[in-house]
Copies of this chain bind each other. A is one copy, B any other.
């Protein structure tokens, strides 16, 4: 290690003056734009006024804007970003040494804030626009709990109410997550719940269900649209979220450029796609404009394989089928994944932007089994010191695989991956792994066919 250690700093921190001042909208460079959201009744593209019962006005504008390349970050958000950004780009010297690989591995670490993940980047933006519109509060869903925590923090900072529906399996596995949200003044309800019509229906149809992000979204939307002064906010999937998360990729690219480093591949975990979409944005932009080429790899769990086994089709974003239709890689809105421990990757669909880029052959995807993910997580924790979230560990797993391929071929490739968060609230999962009680669930073809049967019929 000592031979390489002074080549590049362990951790590259940009100066505050070097932080991005605008988000980058990758849609502006896409030749094939992501398909528009459709009204679930008419199958016509959603108009801003139809979306305004659910979302804040300025966020709708961002959602529908496929053309503007750069959208300035408001000063209040820039100031909030300075509380925990820039995040470090870390050279994984110790991991490289452990793997004895000629590859150069970097990771952008987004876990250095109390929400424990990258989710805060969009939470503060969405809360800011809600506040600016004069709203009282927002509702949302959370899976692993990172998005809910992030939104609670942002709302506490701005003085907004925050109501969170938390997927029941995560609520039970992570009792302390609830307490963190409560510290930030949020109310947290396990989903499905008896508080909403949709929750009651899901509980009646699927007694004993452990919940899913799709259910929780339906409940949060129902409460938002039926409560005065409230709107719904979402932590992933949407175009606006990828826009806000572009700050990850912009910082990463600025840090690499500062040291003259050229990435060969960019790797990120993908649930709804917010982290991956944000991380790859500026790199994908260069690729779309023909200025550079990169391998871009999405990593998903085998138990919820939207890219690798899903259909590219219009589908509901939620189980209750009240949200607009989105064209995306999907396992079907009725698909309830096994209760694996990467709660943030248990969504049935995938960002329409990423789905289009994948359909156009601009990125790859790979699905990995849970126990191998935790093996990678533990190895990483021991050599790099950071205890990774199960979600983030999907990217670690594939980064290690790629570094080992370099060892075989002798290639000195530069691998960049997104380390989206920390695993402090995932110790139940680590315990199962240590005790040899972790399972690798893989849905059968029959299960998926059954689920695809409920895809909406399009004209």
Q: Provided the pairs A2-B75, A5-B79, A112-B112 are in contact, do residues A184 and B381 lie with their beta carbons within 8 angstroms?
A: yes
Given contacts A422-B114, A427-B176, contact A11 B82 (CB under 8 A): yes
Q: Are B10 and A185 interface neighbours, CB within 8 A?
A: no
A16 at the interface (CB under 8 A from B): yes
A262 within 8 A of partner (CB):
no
B-contact bits for A367-385, CB 8 A (1 contact / 0 none): 0000000000010011111
Question: Which residue in B13, B113, B179, B422 is a CB contact (below 8 Å) of A13?
Answer: B13
Contact between chains at A83 and B384 (CB < 8 Å): yes
Cross-chain contact A382 with B427 (CB below 8 angstroms)? no
- A10-B16 in contact given A153-B385, A179-B431, A185-B382 (Cβ < 8 Å): yes
Let me know if A434 is at the binding interface, CB within 8 A.
yes
Cβ 8 A contact of A385, one of B5, B83, B176: B83
> Closest Cβ of chain B: how far from A227's Cβ, in Å?
23
| CB-nearest residue of chain B to A433 | B183
Residues on the B chain within 8 Å of A183, using CB: 378, 381-382, 387, 430, 434
Decide if B427 touches A179 in the complex (CB within 8 Å): yes
Interface pair A180/B13, CB less than 8 Å apart = no
* A75 proximity list for chain B (CB < 8 A): 2
Across the interface, do A114 and B84 meet the contact criterion of CB distance under 8 Å? no
Shortest Cβ distance from A374 into B: residue: B183
> Contact at B182–A434, with CB atoms within 8 Å?
yes
- CB <8 Å contact, A114 and B10: no
How many residues of A are counted as interface, with CB atoms below 8 angstroms from the partner's CB atoms? 46
- Closest residue to A83 on the B side, CB-wise? B385
| A90: nearest chain-B partner, CB-CB | B83
Number of this chain's copies in the assembly equals: 2
> Within 8 Å of chain B (Cβ to Cβ): is A30?
no
Q: A362 to nearest B CB, angstroms?
A: 34
A408-459 at interface with B (beta carbon < 8 Å)? 422, 424-425, 427-428, 430-431, 434
**Which B residues are in CB contact (< 8 Å) with A385?**
83-84, 113-114, 153, 157
Does A254 count as interface, using CB distance less than 8 angstroms?
Answer: no
Q: A381-B184, A385-B114 are known contacts. Are A82 and B424 too (CB-CB below 8 A)?
A: no
A175-194 vs B, Cβ < 8 Å mask (1 yes, 0 no)? 11001101111000000000
Residues from chain B with a CB closer than 8 A to the CB of A1 are: 79
Known contacts A180-B427, A183-B430, A424-B425; is-contact A386 B114 (Cβ 8 Å):
yes
6 A-B contacts (beta carbon < 8 Å): A1-B79, A2-B75, A84-B385, A175-B427, A183-B387, A184-B381
Given contacts A83-B384, A179-B427, 11 further A-B contacts (CB under 8 A): A2-B75, A10-B16, A113-B385, A153-B382, A156-B382, A157-B382, A180-B387, A180-B427, A184-B381, A184-B382, A185-B382
